[in-house]
Chains A and B, each alone.
Chain A
Amino acid sequence: MAGGSAISGLVGARVHRKEDRTILTGAGRYVDDVQERGMLHCHFLRSTVAHARITGIDVEAARGLEGVVRVFTGADMSAITEDLNFAQPIPGLHSPAYPAIAHDVVRYVGEPVALIVAESRYLAEDAAALIEVEYDLLDPVVSTTAGLADGAPQLFEDVPGNVVHADEQLFGDIEAAFAQADHVVTDSLDQHRWACNPMETRGGVATYDRGSGQLTYEASTQTTHTLRFLLAGWIRQPIHQLRVTANNIGGGFGLKFSIYREDVALCAAAKAIGGTVKWIEDRNEHLVAAGAAREEQLTLEAAVKADGTLLGLRVTMLLDAGAYPINPPATVYAGLVRTTLPGPYKLPAYQFSHKIVATNKASYISLRGPWAVETLVRERLMDKIASTCGISPVEVRRRNLITLDDQPTKMVTNVTLECVTAAETFEKMIGMVDLDEVRREQEAARAEGRLLGFGVGTFIEPAPGTQEFWAAVGFPFGAEPLRIRIEIDGKVTAFTPQTPHGQSHETTLSQLIGDELGVGMDDIRIVYGDTDATPFSMLGTGGSRAATMASGAAVYGARELRTRVLDIASHLLEASVDDLEIVDGIVSVKGAPGASVPLGQIAMGCWLAPDQMPEGTNTELEYVASYDGEGGGFSQASHACWVEIDQETGKVEVTRFLVVEDCGRMINPAVVEGQVVGGVAMGLGGMLLEHSAYDAEGQFLSATFMDYLMPSAPEVPEVEIEHLEFESDKVISSRGVGEGGTVLAPAALLNAIDDALAQVGRGRVMATPVTPTRMLELLGVIEKA
């Protein structure tokens, strides 16, 4: 590539985040900060029962309340919207369409049954209290097994037997594997439902311009273009007349990747009223109705040789989908679990079957590494194989891990692995831990009546994954665009379809562009969150794609403009392109700083008088780059977790946590470490504290932050991080790192807890969360209630 890459050292440095001045001073614009003249406020009345036929709704008193502008029942809303329909041409998928506001049957506690638009949120809530809804109760389905039982209540006519999707896939000769096995090791896990809970809930501000017919939706979303694309049809708005914007976003974690019925109702209301309406989900609504994740039950059966070598694996999964489908379709979650589960291990044969079951709960949604249960059950299984074969958890992994020397190779799920360093991260981690000392400490502690545990785990993370990987999952991979412009004064503006919400893309993309173009961080602006300005992409920010995909688009875009600028400069400075460099926005001849021309001068010429620029040069200083990921790739990490279990209170304390991770070349180590620690904290919190719990009637039990326990600072350990920066020969050797902490930490934690339990002769954890009560039940200290 002409001109090569002028590294000015931004990439790889812990530069200050561009985002920080805004957020530290509170100057950000989160969606609830939006205030428009005449803006109206929305509140949803929600179902108080899990499953019922609506036999009547009386909104007259609410409509009559002073300050109430409009009340939409389900019927009112369905008259102006299409049902939400996420169906895709996937064989066997039953994806029922459903209205923005229920008017026939409610299927979970928290389902919207009316929308009130009023002059203030206070008044809207007053009006909601005046609405009478009559319910004819139906039996609820509150678990996968109940949903699959003979004679179970049916949620939808078009979801026979409550089975949203069922499938079985076979890879390799599974019968032969089990025929050759010295041991068959079985395991199971019942993972509980827990949730994303970004500190900013869902919400939006919709404005309909009665003059132009244009609708603008300022949303809290991870993906503006997908939101716009799906919304347009459902609210009957021509897509060219619909603009979706996003400014500061207070976290998403997968939740804000979908579009929800509240988005549809809100935008339709703005259109019907002809003005600006705002809806901000309160925390109570969020916990009850926004959806939750991770409710899966898996069984595993492994064929192994006496020395611990894996021969084959049979897995079944039941996934509790909740009532209504969202984006992506549930088959994607099953596909992710199925494809990723063999992980970085040599596995000759594999059988995976799943059933996705509809229940009377809020939707199953994406949560940071939505496939995470595959790593959790696999890493626990490896420990169980180790104990069955009488070898250590370290040894069983060593005997089965795919090393760099084995690559390229194919996973049994037909995904090529290359440059995967899970084994190397694992060895590096084990090298940092004195395993003998760990055991000595455990023995010494037991002598004092204290109980310590130690656990490890390793994994690969599709961040961004490969074309093959996503084809196996059944989800498009796609290329990532970025539009970049050198402005008339030499400053740089880049437009990305990424919708960052904490991932620091304004910083990292600026670092990459800065190094390529030889301009400073302050002279670059990253524009995101506006479908009128950014290139189209269906993906947005999610799936840990940005570090590779958005980075690649930024680098290729910047390089193309660099080529054009240097070509022009070589004429102006009468020097070879190879002899030029750009430093701090000035193009000069290397070693002859006097021979120089400012980038701004070239840009001004290009924009104002292109015909006067050197003949034959390309003076277009705006370019849309697209990056296909060069095949993509995987990140990997190994975790080690030390716990102390209080045998009197059942409390589990994580006393030390070590991460060795490899996401390739780090653009900004501080950003990488923030993602790793945050991810680990979320994974540990999910296992020990958090629970989106329902009772037997489908009532929701975790409706406040007093019940849904988010980890606070004292509950989170200090996380030690070691980096292994294995760089591939690709242009972009940076890979994603946002989800891995949350995916792997639960496995290392549960393995540590099981290790402690084994020392006192007790059985393993079979269901989560590991509450103090469950811990004392496992220890045999108290009776199971």
Chain B
Amino acid sequence: MNNGNTTREITLTVNGRKRTVTIEVRRTLADFLREDLGLTATHLGCEHGVCGACTVIVDGATERSCTQLAVQADGREVTTVEGLNGPNGELHPVQEALRDHHSFQCGFCTPGFVMAIHGMVEEKKAGRPSPCSRAEIREELSGNICRCTGYQSIIDGAEAALAAGAGKES
């Protein structure tokens, strides 16, 4: 057991890179990613777990990075949007599908949606229950708020991403 303290050394893997850092224990994972690691793709839209802009993948599952402390990520593996691109900056298939469907406008909510949809595609590939109809996709993405698009174009992109992801699996 660590001594109670206001700073702590942690080791975690972010986008495939292992890092050991000393951080203030009150720091949220989102602030740690953005300010300490400079991974500013993860956005903060509400800081109280409603808008989903800060969605990242932790140990294979989508989670909010604003509703956990960075210190809690000790020993865990975190993937942000910066970790999705190919070695030469190629768009990830999820990003391609969203681009092809003109899914977004201002882009602020976008990384959160990309990660949420990526999580959906991965769940489907893993054979877990996953949304099929557009209504089900809407429901599954209800934790991400977009103010610009009215969602329709995002659902178009998500539908295509799910179909493409399933195609690769079969």
Contacts and interface: CB of A to CB of B under 8 A. Distances in A.
B51 interface: yes
Size category, A interface: 35 or more
Nearest to B84: A25
Contacts of A719: 150, 152
A712 B140 CA distance: 11
A30 interface: yes
Contacts of A671: 102
Interface centre among A32, A253, A682 (most CB of B within 10 A): A32
B106 A200 contact: yes
B162 interface: no
- Residues of A contacting B: mostly: loop
Nearest to A26: B41
B99 A17 contact: yes
A677 interface: yes
B105 A704 contact: no
A501 B106 contact: yes
Contact of A26 (B27, B111, B149): B111
B50 A670 contact: no
A99 B47 CA distance: 29
Contacts of B138: 713-714, 716
A504 interface: yes
A26 B139 contact: no
Contacts of B40: 26, 30, 32-33, 35
9 contacts: A24-B99, A30-B40, A199-B43, A200-B106, A250-B106, A680-B150, A705-B48, A705-B51, A713-B151
Interface string A12-28: 00101101111111111
A200 B80 contact: no
A706 B99 contact: no
B85 A25 contact: yes
Given A25-B85, A250-B107, A197 B99 contact: no
Interface in A1-52: 14, 16-17, 19-28, 30, 32-33, 35
Given A706-B48, A716-B152, 9 more contacts: A19-B107, A23-B107, A25-B89, A26-B110, A122-B27, A251-B108, A253-B147, A673-B102, A681-B150
A32 B95 contact: no
B154 A35 contact: no
Interface in A281-312: 282-284
Nearest to B149: A678
Interface string B79-106: 0111011000101000100111010111
A674 B151 contact: no
A22 B151 contact: no
B106 to A, nearest CB: 3
B42 interface: yes
Interface in B105-148: 105-111, 114, 134-135, 137-139, 141-148
B142 A30 contact: no
Interface string A389-418: 000000000000000000000000000000
Interface string A711-754: 01110101100000000000000000000010000000000000
B104 A20 contact: yes
Given A122-B24, A705-B48, A713-B155, A17 B106 contact: no
A705 B145 contact: yes
Contacts, number: 178
B165 interface: no
Contacts of A357: none
A339 B92 CA distance: 49
A741 B148 CA distance: 12
Interface string A697-714: 000000011100010111
Interface pairs A-B: 5 shortest CB-CB: A26-B41, A23-B107, A250-B108, A681-B150, A502-B105
B142 to A, nearest CB: 4
Contact of A713 (B48, B85, B102, B141): B141
Contacts of B105: 251, 502-504, 674, 678
Contacts of B48: 283-284, 704-706
A24 B114 CA distance: 7
A370 to B, nearest CB: 17
Contacts of A198: 106, 108, 147
A249 interface: yes
A632 B114 CA distance: 39
A705 B51 CA distance: 8
Interface string B9-50: 000000000000000101100000011001011111111101
Contact of B110 (A23, A32, A501, A706): A23
B68 interface: no
Contacts of A588: none
A248 interface: yes
Contacts of A21: 91, 99
A47 B43 CA distance: 28
Nearest to B139: A714
Contacts of B84: 25
A21 to B, nearest CB: 7
Contacts of B154: 713
A25 B40 CA distance: 11
Nearest to B145: A710
Interface string A663-680: 000000011011001111
Given A26-B111, A250-B106, A197 B91 contact: no
Contacts of A197: 147
B116 to A, nearest CB: 11
B95 to A, nearest CB: 4
B57 interface: no
A26 B148 CA distance: 17
B31 to A, nearest CB: 8
Nearest to B97: A24
